[in-house]
Amino acid sequence: MDSNTKLEWTALEYEEKERGNDWFWALGVIVIAGAITSFIYGNFFFGLFLIIGGILLGVFAVKKPDLVFYELNEKGLKIRNRLFPYANIKSFWVKTNIEKPTLFIKSERLFMPIISMPIDPNHAEEIKNAMLSKNVPEEEMKEHVSEKIMDSLGF
Protein backbone atom coordinates (compact mmCIF):
# COMPACT_ATOMS: atom_id res chain seq x y z
CA MET A 1 0.00 0.00 0.00
CA ASP A 2 1.63 3.26 -1.04
CA SER A 3 1.47 6.46 1.00
CA ASN A 4 -1.77 7.81 -0.48
CA THR A 5 -3.68 4.58 -0.93
CA LYS A 6 -6.51 3.66 1.35
CA LEU A 7 -8.86 0.74 1.29
CA GLU A 8 -12.49 1.36 2.18
CA TRP A 9 -15.40 -1.02 2.55
CA THR A 10 -18.70 -1.31 4.36
CA ALA A 11 -20.37 -4.32 5.91
CA LEU A 12 -23.35 -5.01 8.10
CA GLU A 13 -22.65 -4.91 11.83
CA TYR A 14 -23.81 -8.51 12.07
CA GLU A 15 -25.58 -11.02 9.87
CA GLU A 16 -29.31 -10.46 10.10
CA LYS A 17 -31.27 -13.58 11.04
CA GLU A 18 -34.91 -14.18 10.25
CA ARG A 19 -36.74 -15.19 13.42
CA GLY A 20 -40.23 -16.59 13.27
CA ASN A 21 -42.98 -16.37 15.86
CA ASP A 22 -41.84 -19.71 17.32
CA TRP A 23 -38.50 -18.16 18.33
CA PHE A 24 -40.25 -15.37 20.26
CA TRP A 25 -42.74 -17.79 21.83
CA ALA A 26 -39.85 -19.98 23.01
CA LEU A 27 -38.07 -16.94 24.46
CA GLY A 28 -41.23 -15.88 26.28
CA VAL A 29 -41.94 -19.34 27.70
CA ILE A 30 -38.35 -19.79 28.92
CA VAL A 31 -38.21 -16.33 30.51
CA ILE A 32 -41.62 -16.61 32.19
CA ALA A 33 -40.97 -20.15 33.45
CA GLY A 34 -37.59 -19.09 34.84
CA ALA A 35 -39.02 -15.98 36.46
CA ILE A 36 -41.94 -17.86 38.06
CA THR A 37 -39.54 -20.50 39.39
CA SER A 38 -37.32 -17.77 40.81
CA PHE A 39 -40.29 -16.09 42.50
CA ILE A 40 -41.47 -19.43 43.97
CA TYR A 41 -38.04 -19.98 45.52
CA GLY A 42 -37.99 -16.42 46.85
CA ASN A 43 -35.29 -15.13 44.52
CA PHE A 44 -37.15 -12.01 43.39
CA PHE A 45 -34.07 -10.18 42.14
CA PHE A 46 -33.12 -13.03 39.77
CA GLY A 47 -36.73 -13.32 38.55
CA LEU A 48 -36.79 -9.61 37.77
CA PHE A 49 -33.37 -9.94 36.11
CA LEU A 50 -34.72 -12.73 33.85
CA ILE A 51 -37.74 -10.63 32.83
CA ILE A 52 -35.64 -7.55 32.01
CA GLY A 53 -33.07 -9.72 30.20
CA GLY A 54 -35.79 -11.43 28.17
CA ILE A 55 -37.30 -8.11 27.14
CA LEU A 56 -33.89 -6.77 26.09
CA LEU A 57 -33.15 -9.98 24.20
CA GLY A 58 -36.42 -9.58 22.29
CA VAL A 59 -35.66 -5.92 21.51
CA PHE A 60 -32.17 -6.74 20.20
CA ALA A 61 -33.58 -9.65 18.18
CA VAL A 62 -35.77 -7.31 16.12
CA LYS A 63 -33.12 -4.57 15.77
CA LYS A 64 -31.79 -4.14 12.24
CA PRO A 65 -27.98 -4.22 11.85
CA ASP A 66 -26.17 -0.96 11.12
CA LEU A 67 -23.88 -0.51 8.14
CA VAL A 68 -20.31 -0.17 9.44
CA PHE A 69 -17.65 1.80 7.57
CA TYR A 70 -14.08 0.40 7.54
CA GLU A 71 -10.96 2.10 6.25
CA LEU A 72 -7.39 0.85 6.08
CA ASN A 73 -5.10 3.83 5.59
CA GLU A 74 -1.53 4.98 6.36
CA LYS A 75 -2.32 5.54 10.07
CA GLY A 76 -4.12 2.27 10.78
CA LEU A 77 -7.50 0.57 10.67
CA LYS A 78 -10.51 2.80 11.14
CA ILE A 79 -13.75 1.16 12.27
CA ARG A 80 -16.61 3.67 12.19
CA ASN A 81 -14.90 6.65 13.84
CA ARG A 82 -12.37 4.75 15.93
CA LEU A 83 -8.81 4.44 14.68
CA PHE A 84 -6.64 1.45 15.61
CA PRO A 85 -3.08 2.59 14.82
CA TYR A 86 -0.80 -0.09 13.38
CA ALA A 87 1.41 0.25 16.48
CA ASN A 88 -1.55 -0.84 18.67
CA ILE A 89 -2.46 -3.85 16.52
CA LYS A 90 -0.58 -6.81 18.00
CA SER A 91 -1.37 -9.17 15.10
CA PHE A 92 -3.87 -9.88 12.34
CA TRP A 93 -5.32 -12.76 10.36
CA VAL A 94 -7.21 -12.76 7.06
CA LYS A 95 -9.44 -15.84 6.87
CA THR A 96 -10.64 -16.50 3.34
CA ASN A 97 -11.48 -20.22 3.28
CA ILE A 98 -14.97 -19.66 4.70
CA GLU A 99 -18.34 -18.50 3.39
CA LYS A 100 -17.78 -14.91 4.55
CA PRO A 101 -14.13 -13.80 4.50
CA THR A 102 -13.08 -12.18 7.76
CA LEU A 103 -10.32 -9.94 9.05
CA PHE A 104 -9.26 -10.54 12.64
CA ILE A 105 -7.11 -8.10 14.56
CA LYS A 106 -5.70 -8.50 18.04
CA SER A 107 -5.65 -5.10 19.69
CA GLU A 108 -4.34 -3.84 23.02
CA ARG A 109 -7.86 -3.65 24.47
CA LEU A 110 -8.26 -5.57 27.73
CA PHE A 111 -11.92 -6.43 27.11
CA MET A 112 -12.48 -8.43 23.90
CA PRO A 113 -9.01 -7.87 22.39
CA ILE A 114 -9.78 -9.83 19.19
CA ILE A 115 -11.98 -7.92 16.77
CA SER A 116 -13.44 -9.60 13.70
CA MET A 117 -14.91 -7.87 10.70
CA PRO A 118 -16.28 -9.13 7.38
CA ILE A 119 -14.31 -8.21 4.28
CA ASP A 120 -14.86 -8.34 0.55
CA PRO A 121 -13.04 -11.39 -0.89
CA ASN A 122 -11.52 -9.10 -3.54
CA HIS A 123 -9.81 -7.02 -0.81
CA ALA A 124 -8.34 -9.94 1.14
CA GLU A 125 -4.92 -9.95 -0.49
CA GLU A 126 -4.65 -6.14 -0.42
CA ILE A 127 -5.51 -6.06 3.30
CA LYS A 128 -2.96 -8.77 4.04
CA ASN A 129 -0.24 -6.97 2.08
CA ALA A 130 -1.07 -3.64 3.73
CA MET A 131 -0.82 -5.12 7.22
CA LEU A 132 2.44 -6.90 6.44
CA SER A 133 3.91 -3.73 4.91
CA LYS A 134 3.26 -1.97 8.25
CA ASN A 135 5.10 -4.77 10.12
CA VAL A 136 1.96 -6.10 11.80
CA PRO A 137 2.60 -9.79 12.57
CA GLU A 138 0.34 -12.39 11.01
CA GLU A 139 -1.12 -14.86 13.53
CA GLU A 140 -3.86 -17.41 12.89
CA MET A 141 -7.05 -16.53 14.76
CA LYS A 142 -10.65 -17.68 14.75
CA GLU A 143 -13.94 -16.43 16.10
CA HIS A 144 -14.51 -16.70 19.82
CA VAL A 145 -16.58 -19.58 21.21
CA SER A 146 -19.19 -17.10 22.47
CA GLU A 147 -19.74 -15.88 18.88
CA LYS A 148 -20.39 -19.46 17.76
CA ILE A 149 -22.84 -19.99 20.62
CA MET A 150 -24.69 -16.76 19.81
CA ASP A 151 -24.81 -17.76 16.15
CA SER A 152 -26.34 -21.14 17.00
CA LEU A 153 -28.95 -19.40 19.19
CA GLY A 154 -29.99 -17.23 16.29
CA PHE A 155 -28.07 -14.02 17.05
pLDDT digits (tens, 9 = 90+) for 26-83: 999 999 999 999 999 999 999 999 999 999 999 988 888 888 999 999 999 999 999 9
Query: Is residue 151 pLDDT above 80, yes or no?
Result: no
Q: Quote the pLDDT of residue 4.
A: 59
Paired strand residues for 103: 94, 117
Residue 146 contacts residue 116 (beta carbons within 8 Å): no
Paired strand residues for 85: 76
Question: How many whole angstroms from its chain centre is CA 60?
Answer: 14
Taking the whole predicted model, whether its pTM rises above 0.75 is answered as: no
pLDDT (mean) for 109-123: 83
CA distance 106 to 124: 17
